[in-house]
A = this chain, B = another copy of it.
Amino acid sequence: MKPVRIGICGLGTVGSGTVNILTRNKALIDARAGCDITIVQIGARRDNPNCDTSAYNVTRDVFDVANNPDVDVLVEVMGGTTVAKDLIFKAIENGKHIITANKALIAHHGNEIFAAAKAKGVTVAFEAAVAGGIPIIKAIREGLAANKIEWLAGIINGTGNFILTEMRDKGRSFDDVLAEAQALGYAEADPTFDVEGIDAAHKLVILASLAFGIPLAIDKVFTEGITKIATEDVTYAEELGYRIKNLGIARRTDKGIELRVHPTLIPEKRLIANVDGVMNAVLVKGDAVGATMYYGAGAGAEPTGSSIVGDIVDVARTLTALPEHRVSYLGFGSDFVSAQPILPIEEVETANYLRMSAQDKPGVLSKIATILSDSGISIEAMIQREAKEGESTVPLILLTNKVQDKKLTAAIRSIEALDSVTGAVQRIRVEALK
């Protein structure tokens, strides 16, 4: 069988991990692919001390790789959505199969990229774009192909999970742990993408498209970060039998598809509630298979490289298949990918955790309870503490039943308007994941 010739663009963390795996495990990978897989060119602005490229043809201009007639498969691991985008369109134009780890690029421009690739009859594979080394895209796109996916929920940002885990295990504050995560290199200097849920949103829309056969809809995702989670929220959640995790959730409902990333209380008994540190996990509920979960490293040079190389082997295995027989980009024949209404967060129904600071005097609770019951919201659980010495307010924690988001938002406004409640009401959504 003729060799499959790889061009790699980018030699950062993922690029170096990919090159190192292809070099170290070449015999094994060729045996699995059933053919010789060769790196014919690497495009990188600079070398990487973690990666010996002396045996390879290295260019400083990644477009050399896209234009290299000897390259069958272009691996884009540069990141970013400008040069990387131009590079991928150029490579598709030149008839090359594309493998990328670029979640932002797929989330924002996947629809156009898939259309261009389909016109050229080339593959676009992006296992590495979601949950690092976990083969979650293959699982949804192929392994669970029999299933009408009902919902999925994922811990798909390791930095956020590390922060929440440390806050729980050690009672540390968000800012304190974030600073350490940055020092450890788990978090970027600008942590916005991680802590505001943007990175998770990129991954969620990709998973949702695979699960439901919808075009990528990054502009439709509701995103709420973990920056406002206080140590006491973590503690109260535990008292109530829950863990707080930053989840990406996609659910099929009669009214439309839910797409949301936000901190979430999960019953501590759920396996996914016990996924700690920088690890990732995705829980997928299918109508036939029931609940399945996929766990592993969500980032890192070789875990992410593992997914890139897995895609390379897949491409090698299907090179001779007719394009219409290859697994399509989103797992559905692209004629079948159709837009479905995305439910705005206001319409989404969830249970909720509420924490407020109330005056320590009679009648306050009844006022709050009245506001909630008037909105048809019932209280499932409550924690009330006695006021500390010399304090005039007490923390009040409530768990509500399932309620439409906008109804609860309105009720919270009314509660905040009470003289007897000081400051804002903390609100965190709750998911049973059953």
Q: Please give the residue numbers on chain A whose beta carbons come within 8 Å of chain B beta carbons, in ascending order.
A: 1, 17, 21, 24-25, 28-29, 31-34, 127, 133-135, 138-139, 141-148, 213, 271, 274-275, 286-297, 300, 302-303, 305-310, 312-314, 316-322, 324-328, 331-333, 336
Contacts and interface: CB of A to CB of B under 8 A. Distances in A.
A310 B274 contact: no
A313 B328 CA distance: 12
Given A293-B295, A296-B293, A28 B322 contact: no
B333 A29 contact: no
Given A34-B333, A320-B322, A142 B290 contact: no
A289 B138 contact: no
Q: Give the most central of A213, A308, A332: most B CB within 10 Å.
A: A332
A145 B271 contact: no
Contacts of A336: 31
A291 B296 contact: yes
A25 B287 contact: yes
A296 B292 contact: yes
A226 B215 CA distance: 49
A146 B288 contact: no
Given A133-B290, A133-B292, A296-B289, A32 B138 contact: no
28 contacts: A21-B146, A25-B148, A32-B145, A32-B333, A33-B333, A34-B324, A127-B143, A133-B292, A135-B142, A142-B313, A144-B306, A146-B307, A146-B308, A146-B310, A146-B312, A147-B306, A271-B274, A271-B295, A286-B306, A287-B302, A288-B302, A288-B305, A288-B309, A289-B296, A289-B307, A317-B325, A318-B318, A319-B325
A221 B28 CA distance: 24
A249 B333 CA distance: 39
Contacts of A327: 317
Contact of A288 (B25, B271, B288, B332): B25
B295 A295 contact: yes
Given A31-B333, A34-B324, A328-B34, A314 B275 contact: no
B133 A305 contact: no
B324 A321 contact: no
Contacts of A300: 290
Contacts of A305: 146, 288
A332 B31 CA distance: 5
A21 B322 CA distance: 27
A134 B24 CA distance: 30
A292 B289 contact: no
Contacts of A133: 286, 288-290, 292
